Each structure stands twice: as C-alpha cells, then as structure tokens.
Amino acid sequence: MTTDLGPARSELRSGASAPPAVAAASDGAVGRAWRILAGIVDPEIPAISIVELGIVGDVRYAGNWLEIELLPTFIGCPALELVQATIGQRLEPLRLDPGLAIEQVVVTTSYAQPWTAERISPAGRAALRASGFAPPELTAAEALPPRATCPYCGSRRTILENAFGPTRCRSIHYCTDCRQPFEQFKDG
Amino acid sequence: MSSLAPSRAAATASLLWALADDDFVLGFADSEWTGIAPHLEEDVAMSSMAQDELGHAAAYYRLLADLIDGDPDQLAYDRPASAFRHCRLVDHGRGDWARTMARRWLYDTANAVRLEALADSSDRPLAELVGKVRREESYHLAHDEAWIERLAGHPGEPRQRLIEALELVGPDAPSALAPLADEPALLAAGVLPVGGAELEARWLARLGPVLERTGLRLPPPAPAATAPATARSGHGPDFDALWSEFTSVRRLDPLATW
C-alpha cells in the first residue's frame, strides 16, 4: 500500500492561493481529490468553488481513509451538510478505483484554524465580484460595521443596509454612486 | 469515549450542557420572530441570529456527544423539559420586542465574557470552537446595543417597555454566569480559566457604559439567579410551552429525517 500524505500541512495552511496539490499534477489520491473538489461549487453562490472559497482545509490519506477536512464559513451554515454529501458523491469514483486503495471517504469539520476571509483565493474574489458579490474586505476584518466596495462600479461610498442577509455568510449594502443594492460575502 | 479523567470529564460535560442548552433555548425562542419581527430587515437579522445560536448549540452538543458517547440529536431532543440546564435568563419567553432585546443584550454580553475566558480553555476542541463562535457573536452584540440605545432613546412607549422588560428579566440575568456546581473542578483543570464571580464583574463592567449612556438601570439580582443550585433549574411555563413545540416532531416520529 502506498501512503500518500499529500502536501505538507503548512503548505495547505498557507492561505488564499490555490492548494499546491491542484497545481502539481500528482496522480495520487490526494491530488485527484483536490482536482475534483476544485470542481464542486458552493451551493449558495455557484459562481465560486469550495476550494476557491477556502473551506477545504486539508485533504489527507492515511490508513486507507481519505479525509476531507472542511472549515465552515459560519457554524450554523445549513449548506454544510449539502457540501459534505456532494463531496462524498463526487469522490465515490476514487473510492471505487482499486488502484487507490481507499476504503472510506470521510468528510470532517474543523475549527482548529477557523475559516476567515483571507482564505478566499484571488480567483475566488474575482468570481464573487463578477457575479455581483463584494468579496470581504481584507483589512480590519474585525471592524464593525463591515465596509464594502461596490462590485459594479468599484465605489467605496457604500452603506451597510443590514449586517445579516439572505444566508449566514452574506450582508446587504447599497452603493450611493451607482445606486445599486448589492451583497457582500461576510468575514466569518 | 473520552480519555479524560472521570472528574474532569464530568465537569466538562456540565459546562457543555450549560453552553449548549443556553444557545439552544435562546435560538428556538428567538426563531419565533421569523415572519413577525418589527420590520423586514429585522426579520432577516433576528432569524440569522437565531440560526447562529442553534448552530452553536449543535456544535456544543457534538462536543458533548464525543465526550459522553452520545448522539447530538438525542441530547437536544430526547430529554424531558426538567433535564434542561439553561439559565433562568433565557427561560423567559420572548414576550414583546423590548423583552426579546433586553434578554438578548443581557445574554449576549454575559456570553461574550464567558466565551472570552473559554478561548483560553485547556480543552482544545472547546477553545477552537469558541474562537469561531466569538467572531459570529460580535455581529450580535453590535445589533443588540443598537436596539437598546434606540428603544431607550425614544421617550414614551419604547423606553417604557424596555424599562419594564429589564425589570422582568434583569433580576435573572446573573444566572448566565452563576458558578456551576462543578466550578472548582473546572477551574482546577483549566477547562474554565476564569471563575463565575470574576466573570460577573467583567460583565457588569461591560454593561456599565451602555447603562450610563441610556440612563437605564439593572435591577438587583434575584437570589435564585446567583446560586449554583437554582440558576439553571426550576423552569417556568414559558419553557414548558417552548419545549413542547421544539420536541413536537421528534415525539410524533422519532425516526423522522430530512
């Protein structure tokens, strides 16, 4: 049995850039899992993948188990169970591949290193903007009320309408320049 | 099953019951505002906060289930009302909007003080979870304070209702931080790094500036709200009604899933 532990944990934890395993065309279970995960979109904002969003904390292969560790954006996010189920379904072909010797795919959640806005990749931030969502501001993440840049005209003259929005990870804003309401993806 | 020493595990479990039941009961009570909050944006905000509390409760029940070898749903739904260990403050029903806001503000400020201490807990899974919970709770505190100042700042009915609400729920507010019977064991093990008396002092210091700005007063504590034996027991009819509601589906069909 080959044990592929994948990229070092420190590399995976390095933040917003694409996980090294995606770029490195490894044919191991971990590399293939990362590539499949990169194709799974967030159920509430389908413009962005769960990898771009940064909610995949780690992919580990050990003892015939493939473990996907998720970092929830918000603890009570009801989409989390859907994401977990989708991951299980999409990774099923890996489990069935006899060459990979995967007995079980487990999807766990962790708060050891909590999800924050910094985990959204540059591509993810661009994808959010393109679909009308302001990405979270990276400065003063703890400051309330959260500031937002209009995703339509780029203006900073925006007003927070509601720190709570249609889902737990979204707030509602208004641009006083282009007079558009818009949503921001909140820092968790 | 946990590998912790039995006394430490039992004490940690009692702390998790308190944390989980507080958020679970408050979350369910506040979810009653969904659809009938004072205005649409507030409906969204209150529903979001209720959802947060239920999410936090689910995460605490998960830790508890890992510790005592149980199932989170069973812990939450298969207990008689008398077995719940939430504090007297959240035992009050939602009442009117002023009561809901008074209850939330007093609870969220007390909870913030408690969570700040637990961020340094020697129990790693709890400390990690609390780190995430605190980030979410900062939104709640900003929301509560805005409402307290808004109600207090309007003479006449809004301010009067808020004063009446504080008179009703205020005496029970210290129950959120009252020492648990297991507090000595929790302190000795570092699971709870700060004792209840110190937490209460920090909480009062946090309420101070808002009380001063608004000219509101917090009534003196009810004796039952400060004693370990009574701060989290003796639930009233409001909770019986709530329990009956949130266990109704489970009692109708224990195997129901969705």
User: Three-class SS string for B167-190?
Assistant: HHHHHHHHHHCCCCCCHHHHHHHC
**For residue A14, is pLDDT > 70?**
no
Q: Which of A10, A8, A91, A79 is nearest to A46 (CA)?
A: A79
B30 close to B118: Cβ distance less than 8 angstroms: no
- Look at B128 and A76 and tell me if their CB atoms are within 8 Å: no
Mode of pairing for the β-strands spanning A133-134 and A56-62? unpaired
Contact B56 A168 (CB under 8 A): no
Residues facing A160 on adjacent strands: A173
Nearest-Cα residue of chain A relative to residue B129 = A111
Beta-carbon contacts of residue A23 (< 8 Å; ≥ 6 apart): none
Cα–chain-centroid distance for residue B11?
Answer: 19
Contact with chain B for residue A168, Cβ under 8 A: yes
Q: What b/e readout covers A137-174, taking b as 16+ CB neighbours within 10 angstroms?
A: beeeeeeeebbbbbbeeeeeebeeebbbbebbbbbbbb
Write out the two tokens for B23: 């958020």
Residue to test with chain A: of B46, B54, B135, most A Cβ within 10 A: B135
pLDDT tens, chain B, 258 aa long: 455 677 899 999 999 999 999 999 999 999 999 999 999 999 999 999 999 999 999 999 999 999 999 999 999 999 999 999 999 999 999 999 999 999 999 999 999 999 999 999 999 999 999 999 998 998 999 999 999 999 999 999 999 999 999 999 999 999 999 999 999 999 999 999 999 999 999 999 999 999 999 999 999 999 999 999 999 999 999 999 999 999 999 999 988 876
Residues of B with CB under 8 A from a CB of A: 41, 44-45, 47-49, 51-56, 58-59, 128-129, 131-133, 135-136, 138-139, 142-143
Cis omega (within 30 of 0) on the bond before A145? yes
- Contact criterion met (CB below 8 Å) for A116 and A96: no
Contact B45 A74 (CB under 8 A): no
**What's the pTM value of the predicted model, to 2 decimals?**
0.89
- When comparing pLDDT for A10 and A143, which is higher? A143
Q: Is A8 on the interface with B (CB under 8 A)?
A: no
Q: Which residues of B12-27 are buried (b: 16+ CB within 10 A; e: fewer)?
A: bbbbbbbbbbbbbbbb
A11-15 average pLDDT score: 36
pLDDT (mean) for A110-127: 93
Cβ within 8 Å, pair A76-B135:
no
Among B17, B176, B12, which residue's Cα sits nearest to residue B91? B176
Higher pLDDT, A123 or A167: A123
User: What is residue B98's three-state secondary structure?
Assistant: helix
Distance from CA of B132 to the nearest CA of A (A): 6
Cβ of A164 and B131 within 8 Å?
Answer: no
Residue A159 has pLDDT above 60, yes or no: yes
Evaluate if residue A3 carries a pLDDT over 70.
Answer: no
Note whether A114 contacts B: Cβ–Cβ < 8 A. Answer: yes
Strands annotated E in chain B: none
Give the model's pLDDT for residue A140.
53
d(CA B256, CA B97): 33
Partner residue facing B52 (CB), from A111, A145, A168? A168
> Residue A178 pLDDT more than 80?
yes
pLDDT exceeds 70 at position A164: yes
For residues A174 and A166, the answer to whether their CB atoms sit within 8 Å is no
pLDDT score recorded for residue A6: 36
Polymer length in residues for chain B = 258
What is the pLDDT at residue A179? 97
The answer to whether residue A8 scores a pLDDT higher than 60 is no
Q: CA-to-CA distance for B138 and B158, rounded, in angstroms?
A: 25
Of B41, B128, B132, nearest to A161 by CB-CB distance is: B41
Pick from A4-13, A46-55, A71-80, B203-212: least confident: A4-13
Residue A22 has pLDDT above 90, yes or no: no
How do residues A66-98 score in pLDDT, each as one tens digit?
A: 999 999 999 988 899 999 999 999 999 999 999
Strands A104-109 and A65-70: parallel
Long-range contacts (CB closer than 8 Å, 24 or more residues apart) made by A16-24:
A16/A54, A16/A118, A16/A119, A16/A120, A16/A121, A16/A122, A16/A124, A17/A121, A17/A122, A18/A51, A18/A121, A18/A123, A19/A51, A19/A56, A19/A59, A21/A59, A22/A51
Cα gap A104→A102, rounded to integer Å: 6
One-letter amino acid of B113: V
Region of B144 (left: φ > 0; alpha: ψ -120 to 50; beta: rest) is alpha
Listed residue (A172, A169, A163) closest to A71, CA to CA = A169
Tokens of A67: 């473990």
Interchain contact, B138 vs A188, CB within 8 Å: no
Q: Quick check: A5 and A61 in contact, CB under 8 A?
A: yes
pLDDT at A147: 83
B84 to each of A120, A168, B230, how far by Cα in Å? 40, 27, 12
Q: Which residues pair with A65 in a beta bridge?
A: A62, A104
Q: Are A141 and B136 in contact (CB under 8 A)?
A: no
Cβ distance A144 to B48 less than 8 Å, yes or no, reads no
- Above pLDDT 70, what percent of chain A? 81
Interchain CB distance below 8 Å, A75 and B55: yes
Q: Which of A111, A142, A163 sits opposite B128 (nearest CB)?
A: A111
Please determine, for residue A148, whether its predicted confidence score (pLDDT) is greater than 70: yes
Beta-carbon pairs below 8 A across chains A and B: 68
In sequence order, what are the residues at sequence separation of 6 or more whose Cβ sits closer than 8 angstroms to the Cβ of residue B240?
B81
Q: Which of B132, B138, B142 is closest, CB to CB, to A75?
A: B132
Rounded CA separation B139/B116 (Å): 15
Q: Which amino acid is at A29?
A: A
Looking at chain A, how many residues does it have? 188
Q: From the candidates B28, B132, B136, which should be mutated to test the interface with A, based on the most A CB atoms within 10 A?
A: B132
The pLDDT of residue A13? 35
Q: For chain B, say whether A93 makes contact (Cβ under 8 Å).
A: no
Residues of A (32-51) whose Cβ lies below 8 Å from B:
none
